[in-house]
Structure 1
Amino acid sequence: MTKRARRRPALPRALPSVRPPSFGGRLHDARTATAVGRWLGAAFAVCFVTGLISHYLQHPPGWLANGLPGRPVWGYRLTQGLHVASGLAAIVLLLAKLWAVYPRLFVWPPVRSVRHALERLSVAVLVATAVFQVFTGLLNIVEWYPWPFPFVQTHFAVAWVVAGSILLHVAVKAREIRAHWSRRSAGTLALPAEDAPDRRALLLGVGAAVGAVTLTTVGQAFTPLKRLDLLAPRHPDIGPQGLPVNRTVAAAGVTQAALRDWRLEVAGPHPYTLTLDQLRALPQTHARLPISCVEGWSVEARWAGVPVRDLVARAGGRPGCGVRVVSLEVAGAYRVMEMGAEYVRDPLTLLALTLNGQVLEPDHGYPARIIAPNRPGVLQTKWVTRLEVL
C-alpha cells in the first residue's frame, strides 16, 4: 500500500488592507461648512440666550426672585417663541452642517498629534451635545419624555456645555473660518470656481427648509400666522374656551368633590377663608394678557378676577412680600409655586375667575387660577386653593 500524501496546512489569507473611504462629492469643504456654520451659530446664540431667560423665569435664584419684571406683559411670549423657533431652525442647520463636514470623520490617520486628538475630542463633544440638545428639545415640545433624567435640569446644564464647545471650536478654527467667511476671502479663491453655483443652490435649499419649518410652526406663538401652523404640536385656537390645554383636570387628579367643596385660604398675619361667591363679590379687574407655555405656544385672552395684591393686603401682607400658591392638584412639579414681590404688587397679576367672559372651564383651572404678565405658563397655577403670604 502506498502512503497517502500528507496535505500541507493551508496558509492564512492575507487580510485586506483597511483604507478610509473616499468621498468624491463636492461641497464637503470649508466654505460650505463656514456658510452654514454662520447661520447655525446665530440660531444657537438666540436659542441659548432665550433659554436662559426661560430658565431663570421658571427657577429664579433667591437674589433674583423678588426682582423679576412683569413688563412687558408679552415678554415671555416673545422670548419663548424665539427659543422654540430658533431651536427648530437649528435642527435643519445642524443636519446641513454635519453633511458638509462628515467626511472629516474618516480622515486617516485618525490622530496625528496630541493637539489633533484634543481638537477631535472637542468636536466630538460639540456634535454629541448639540444633537442631544436640539432633539431632546424637540421631544419636549411634543411632551414625550422617553428618558429617565429630569428634562429641565439636564437641558439647562447641557446648554452651557454646547455654548462652551461652540466658543472653543470657533477659537480653534478662527483662522480657517476667517479665510472662508466671505465670497472674496483668500481661502475661497482657492476653491474650484465651478462649485459656486452648486453651493449657492445648496444654501438656498437649506434656507428654504429653515423657512418652511419656521412658517409651519411659528404660528403657535405668532398668531397672525396661525393658519400656517401645520407642523407645530399646538394650535392657539384649539381647546376649551379657545385656548390649548397641557394638563387637564383629570390628569391633575382634581376630583369633582374637591371642586364642589372648594374654599380659598389666604394665610398671613390676618388669615381668612373665602367661598367662591364671596370671591366673586370682591372688586374685579379685567386684563388682556397672553398665556405662554414653555413648549412654545402662546395666545392672548381676556381674563377677569381679583388682584392678588388685594388678597395679600387683606391678609396683612407687607409691601414687598412674596406669595406661595398651592393648587388642588394631587401631585406635580408645579403644584406649589412661589411668586416674587414684583409680580405680587403688579395690578395685572390676578386670581382669575373668568376667561374670555366665561367662567373658567375645569381644564383651565376652575374655580380660580393665577394669571400674571410676563410669566411662564407652568407658573400660572390652576385650581388654586391656598395663598400664603411670605
Structure 2
Amino acid sequence: MRPGRFTSAVRSPRLTSRLGIALGVAFAVCFVTGVVSHLVQHPPGWFWWPSRPVGLYRFTQGLHVATGLATVPLLGAKLWSVYPRLFTWPPIRSLAHAAERASVAVLVAAALFQVVSGVLNVARWYAPMPFFFTSAHYWVAWLAAGALLTHIAVQLPVVRDALAPDTAGPNGNEPPRRGLPITGAAEPDHDEPAHHGRPTTGTAEPDHDEPAHHGRHAADAAEPDGGGLSRRGVLAAVGAAAGVITVTTVGQTVRPLSGLAVLAPRLPQVGPQGLPVNATATGAGVAELVRDPHYRLALTGTRQSLSLDLPALAALPQHTADLPIACVEGWSASGRWTGVRLRDLVALAGDDPDDATVLVESLQVGGRYRSATVPPSHTRDPLTLIALRLGGEPLHPDHGYPARLIAPNRPGVLQTKWVGRITVLEGR
C-alpha cells in the first residue's frame, strides 16, 4: 500500500476496458452454453431439448469448454491490469464505495472459482473439490453473472470514456485520466482528489503510475520505462495465449485438429474400439455382471412386461446410426452404433412410442448417473438406440456391453451404459 509501489506505465483504463470487453464476451458465451448443459442434464418440467440436430450439444458443450479455457489468460491479464486498485488506501471511503468494492470482490471470487473448478473438471481431478462440481459450477455461474451485470452498470461510463474516439485538445494532448477499472472497478475522479506535493502514506498511488498519454494511439503503444511490452503488445500476447490454448485443446472435439491437441486430456480416437471412455466397467463395479451368461434386459411397459436376453435382442430389427459421444468435459467422438430402436422396444411393450417417457437404468448399483430419463422427443426419434454393437463389433465392456443407450443430441452422462432395465413411465 506504499505510494509508488506499482510503477508499470502499461496499465490504463483503455487497456483494462478492452480486456474487460473480451472477458465479458467469453463469460457470456460460457454462461449461456453452461446453463444449456445443466438444463439438459437436470431438466426441469418446463424445459424441452430437441433430438435434432444430432450434434447440437456437441457444439454447445465444446464451445463452452473451449471458451472457458480461453478465459484463463484473459482473466489473468484483467486482474493484472487492475491489481494496483486492490491496494488503494483507505480501502473504504463511503457506504457506496464499500458496496462497490464488495460487489467486485464477489465478481473476482466467482470468476476465479468458475475458471479453476472448470479446469479441474476438464482434467477430471476432483480431489481438490469437496463438493459436487456440477451443482456448484452452475450456481456460482449465476452469482458471477449477477455480479458482472452489476459491475457493467457501474463501470459503463468509465469504459465508454476510455474507448471514446480521440478527445485530444488543440495542443494534441489527451487529458489525463485517473480512473482505472477494477475487474474492473474504476474509482471516479471525485474519489481521488489531486494531491499537491509529495503524497503521504495512505493516499492513492501517485500520478506516475497512471501517466497522461498524448493521443489514443500513443496511449495504446506506450511502453514502460526501461522497455517491455506496450499496451498493444499486452493485448497481442493475451490474444495469442488464448489462441494457443484453444488450438491445443479443441482437437478433442474438432477431429481435424486432434494432432495439435497436446493439452487436451482426451483425444477422440484413443480408447476401446477407437472411442474414449470416462467410466470403465471395472471402475463402475459391473465387470462381472456384464459377463453373466444369464443376462436379461427387463422391459416394463404400462401394459405388459418382458424379459429379453441377448439373442432375443439381436433377433429384433437392427438399425445403425452414426452418433457422437459428447462429454461434459468438452471432448467428443463419433461412432457407428448398431442395435434396437428404443421406439420399437416401447411398442413391443404395448405403448405408444410417439408419446412415451422412458427410464433407462444401468446394472451399475450406485452413481449419480446410473439411470437416465428419455423424453418423448428422443424416444420417438429413430436414431435413439439400445446399442449392441460399435463399429460392427460387439460392445466393449467399457462402452456398455451387453447393451447401452445411444441417442442423438444428448450429453455422454445421459447415454446410459450396461443397461439392465427399461421402464415406460408414460406412453398410453
TM-score range, shorter chain: over 0.9
Contact 1:20 1:106 in 2 (8 A): no
Candidates 266, 282, 288, aligned match of 1:256 = 288
One-letter code aligned to 2:85: R
Q: 1:81 to 1:189 in 2, by over 3 A?
A: farther
Q: Could you list the runs of 5+ residues in structure 1 that have no partner in the other structure?
A: 1-17
One-letter code aligned to 2:412: G
Match of 2:347 in 1: 313
Match of 1:82 in 2: 63
Q: Deviations over 1:108-140 (max 9, x none)?
A: 111111111111111000000100011001101
Instruction: Give the match's secondary structure for 1:249.
Output: coil
Q: How many residues align?
A: 371
Q: How does 1:119-134 map to 2 (within 5 A)?
A: 119-134=100-115
Match of 2:139 in 1: 157
Contact 1:264 1:384 in 2 (8 A): yes
CA distance in structure 2 between the aligned counterparts of 1:58 and 1:263, rounded to whole angstroms: 28
Candidates 145, 149, 166, aligned match of 2:148 = 166
Contact 1:270 1:314 in 2 (8 A): no
Match of 1:109 in 2: 90
One-letter code aligned to 1:92: P
Candidates 335, 341, 345, aligned match of 1:301 = 335
One-letter code aligned to 2:55: W
CA distance in structure 2 between the aligned counterparts of 1:221 and 1:363, rounded to whole angstroms: 20
- The share of aligned pairs that are identical, in percent, is 55
Deviation at 1:258, TM superposition (A): 4.4
TM-score (norm 2): 0.84
Deviates more, 1:166-175 or 1:176-185: 176-185
The reply to whether residue 54 of structure 1 matches residue 37 of structure 2 is yes
CA distance in structure 1 between the aligned counterparts of 2:83 and 2:2, rounded to whole angstroms: 17
RMSD (CA atoms): 1.6
Candidates 175, 180, 195, aligned match of 2:162 = 180
Instruction: Give the match's secondary structure for 1:210.
Output: helix
Instruction: Give the match's secondary structure for 1:109.
Output: coil
One-letter code aligned to 2:376: A
The reply to whether residue 283 of structure 1 matches residue 317 of structure 2 is yes
Contact 2:290 2:397 in 1 (8 A): no
Q: Deviations over 1:249-307 (max 9, x none)?
A: 00000032443231111001111111101101111111111110000000111111100
Match of 1:378 in 2: 413
Instruction: Give the match's secondary structure for 2:46.
Output: helix
The reply to whether residue 267 of structure 1 matches residue 300 of structure 2 is yes
CA distance in structure 1 between the aligned counterparts of 2:364 and 2:396, rounded to whole angstroms: 15
Q: Deviations over 1:125-161 (max 9, x none)?
A: 0000100011001101111112222111111100000
Q: 1:106 to 1:186 in 2, by over 3 A?
A: farther
Q: 1:184 to 1:72 in 2, by over 3 A?
A: farther
Deviation at 1:92, TM superposition (A): 1.1
Match of 1:355 in 2: 390
Q: Could you list the runs of 5+ residues in structure 2 that have no partner in the other structure?
A: 176-211, 222-229
